[in-house]
Structures are given as structure tokens and as C-alpha cells.
Structure 1
Amino acid sequence: MTAEAEAIDHRLSPVRGAYLIADRTRLAGDELEPAVRSALDGGVPVVQYRDKSDDHDRRLAEAQSLAALCHRYDARLIANDDIELARDAGADGVHLGRDDISVSHARIVLGKEALIGVSCYNELERAFAADRAGADYVAFGSFYPSPTKPGAPRAPLTLLKRARSRIHLPIAVIGGITPDNAGPLALAGADAAAVASGLLDAEDITEAARRLNNLMRLGW
């Protein structure tokens, strides 16, 4: 791939800047949509809906509502792990972890336009495999201690730099990221910062999202 082609890929990808993880464990039902709207007002281009419960009807209704809200802002909604939920809710894609289905299966179910991301933790080889399988972006982390996943494996900054030099896909970073500590990750090559508590716990979610977007632009 040429440098010019790589630049075009990065410019067109929505996986840039602040990437909100709307984690249902951190939000009561009546808090979910207002929090996401506040983040969208701050320029968040991608929202991931994360709910590990087995309440199918509620999850579907919430995901449908968030998909409609994101689309009014010209943003994307990603479902965490669940391709059926993504399909039925009209979401734009899915984010897959270690124990989830394959990228190729997700592509068959969701179609060629779906946005498919893969968690790579601190494993560069996993990112190479995701790239070969046709993923649209990869995510590394945790880079800082994470209140959402305190036991998550830590990824060093050197891994991010190596990934940026060898992977042409957009790279998201995750784990304890806030508008105060995202700068070094952006300078090391991250395209997007996937954040839950760093935005959801902010006194002003909209302003925090704007700050995070500005920090992530350091590497663009």
C-alpha cells in the first residue's frame, strides 16, 4: 500500500478522535441517551453500545434509539460483540473481542459496508490477523489503569508505535484514557481514543469530548 493510499484510508475512516463507549453498567436507563447526545454534541463520530445483560428486548430498543440518534448527527453506532443486535437495531457495525465470532462471519451477516473492529489487547499478531481477515479497525489497550476493566492486560506505548509503523488500518486505543492523558497516544499513532469513564464521568461530557477530539488531532 502506498503512503498516499494509506492517508486516504485514514482520512475517510470515521474511527478518529473521541470514540464513546456507552457502557450500560455506568449509565441508568434514563441517563443513556442524554449522555450519548452530549458526547455527540462534542463531535464524537463513533459510539459503541455495550450491554452484556440478557435483556434482549431492552437492549434492542436502546440500540435502535441510539442508532437513530447517532445517524441524526452523521455518526456511527457500533454494537459490542453482538452481530444480531447490530443487524436488528440498524447499527453500523460491531466490535469483536477474543471470544466472539470471526470477522468473516460478521461480514457475511452485516454486509460489506459494516464497520467491524477487533480488540487486540497487547498482541500485535492479533492485529495482523484482523487486518488480513478484513477488519476496518483494530484496538489496543489497556494503556492506563481502567476503572471499567481493572484486570485488563496493559499495552505499552512501544506496542502502539510498532503497530502504527506496520498496520495501515485505523488504530483505536482504550483503557483509562481521559482528555488529560490522551496526547502521548495520539503522538504515538493512535487514530481514536475509545473512552467510557473518561467521558461519562466528566462534569461536562460535551466539553470533555471536544477536548479529547482536539488531543487526538495531534497525530493526524
Structure 2
Amino acid sequence: MNHLIATPLYAITDSLLIPGEALFAGVTAALEGGCRLIQYRDKSGNNAQRLADAEKLLNICQGYDAQLIINDDMQLAKAVGAHGVHLGQDDGSPTTARDYLGANAVIGVTCHASLPLAQRAIKQGASYVAFGRFFPSNTKPDAPPAPLSLLTEARDLCKPTPIVAIGGITLENGAKVLAAGANILAVSHSLFAAADIKRQARAFIQLQEKVNQR
């Protein structure tokens, strides 16, 4: 359990931002920039396309020793042999997901701005807990906001489970999020909308070094 690659960058794909072949080119560029954790997120409902996309992404990730996590869909994660699944609060429990996907699966859980939800997820076997949004978000504009102080509290309460921060994270505010207590920055628009995704990924990863040097 908890075989999550330790990386400060968690790249979340967006089928509207990088559709079709741009998905694979964008993910490849992120991996070339040093990212080792990819989440496939596609809300289109086109199951055949999602299966094909996930299979190809897994093959790409394996070439970089990276992990592929599937958003919200345990069945798709199992069908393609992905490394794990990310669950919203309505997508089933970590216990169910681990029983279904196996002891080595990475199971992430959205906890919004709730420490009790995070503690429950950890007790149920979550590999990481995700909090957010911390800033205005292109991907989830209607998500309720969370204060950065939540990450400081979570750092003590959730240890040693990794903490993922999501929602409007950029190169300008990412170091502040890491310093507040996040272990991992989940980024979609600020990565995949960049003119040079490879360089952007590298810059996000280097934020951790800057925080460590303070």
C-alpha cells in the first residue's frame, strides 16, 4: 500500500484543454520535464475513447517509470492496469477501491477543505489525500475555496500520508502551497496550457528545491 512516487508535480489531464493527439503529446512533454505522476481525467462519457486513451497513456508512462492514476473510475483503472484511481467523495471508498484494484494500487481521495474527511480516508487505506481549491480554478471554477492554513494543519494530522493540493496552482503561488504543508502540487491548466510543457513541468518540480533552500 502507498506505493506513490514521491514527486512535487501531479499532472492532471483535461480533455478540453488537450484533446485528441494533443493529450499524448502534452503528457509526453510533461514526463520529459520530469513529471512522474499523471492523472487521466476525462468527463466526456465516451467509454471506448477513454479506454483507448488510458491504454495509450499507460504505455507512455511506463516508458518513463511514471504512474498513471485514473480519475473517478475504478473499472477503467482495472481494465487498463493503471497504477491506481483518484476518488471523489461520491466515487466509492478507499477500502472498496483497494479490494478491487489490489494491495499495491495508489488510491487518492478528494477531501475538499475537510480534515475529518481526510482522516477517514486515511483510516480506509488512502495512499494520499487531496485538498482544494486554494485559488480560482479553470478546471473546477465552482469548487469551494480552502485556506492555505488547512495544509499546515493537515501536515501534522495526516502524516505520513502524502498531501496533494489542487486548484488554481501556478508557478507564482506553488512554492507558497508547498511551504504551507503540501507534498504534491496537482496542476492542470497551468501546466498543459503552457507554450512549453516540458519546461513548465521542470519549473514546477524545481519549486520544491526552492522551498527546501529557504
In the superposition, the TM-score normalised over structure 1's length comes to 0.92
Looking at structure 2, the residues matched to 208 and 181 of structure 1 have their Cα atoms a distance apart, in angstroms, of 14
Give yes or no for the alignment of 1:67 onto 2:58: yes
Identify which of 192, 197, 215 aligns with 2:207. 215
Identify which of 148, 159, 173 aligns with 2:150. 159
Native 8 Å contact 1:190 1:219 kept in 2: no
- Write out aligned runs for 1:82-161 (5 A): 82-161=73-152
Identify which of 37, 52, 57 aligns with 2:43. 52
Report the residue type matching 1:213 in the other structure.
I
Structure 1 residues 114 and 166: CA distance shift in structure 2, 3 A = same
Structure 1 residue 154, shift from structure 2 partner: 0.7
Native 8 Å contact 1:148 1:197 kept in 2: yes
CA RMSD after TM alignment: 1.5
Give yes or no for the alignment of 1:198 onto 2:159: no
Structure 1 residue 15, shift from structure 2 partner: 4.4
Structure 1 residue 217, shift from structure 2 partner: 3.8
Report the residue type matching 1:187 in the other structure.
A
Structure 1 residue 148, shift from structure 2 partner: 1.0
SS of 2:195's partner is coil
Looking at structure 1, the residues matched to 25 and 9 of structure 2 have their Cα atoms a distance apart, in angstroms, of 17
Structure 1: any 5+ residue segments left out of the alignment? 1-8
Looking at structure 1, the residues matched to 83 and 121 of structure 2 have their Cα atoms a distance apart, in angstroms, of 18
Looking at structure 2, the residues matched to 219 and 118 of structure 1 have their Cα atoms a distance apart, in angstroms, of 25
Structure 1 residue 103, shift from structure 2 partner: 0.7
SS of 1:163's partner is helix
Structure 2: any 5+ residue segments left out of the alignment? none
More helix as a share of residues: 1
Structure 1 residue 28, shift from structure 2 partner: 1.5
Looking at structure 2, the residues matched to 15 and 92 of structure 1 have their Cα atoms a distance apart, in angstroms, of 14
Looking at structure 2, the residues matched to 63 and 137 of structure 1 have their Cα atoms a distance apart, in angstroms, of 21
Looking at structure 2, the residues matched to 166 and 79 of structure 1 have their Cα atoms a distance apart, in angstroms, of 26
Number of the residue aligned with 1:37? 28
Number of the residue aligned with 1:25? 16
Structure 1 residue 16, shift from structure 2 partner: 2.3
Identity %: 45
Structure 1 residue 17, shift from structure 2 partner: 1.0
* Number of matched pairs: 211
Looking at structure 1, the residues matched to 201 and 8 of structure 2 have their Cα atoms a distance apart, in angstroms, of 9
Native 8 Å contact 1:22 1:47 kept in 2: yes
Report the residue type matching 1:116 in the other structure.
I
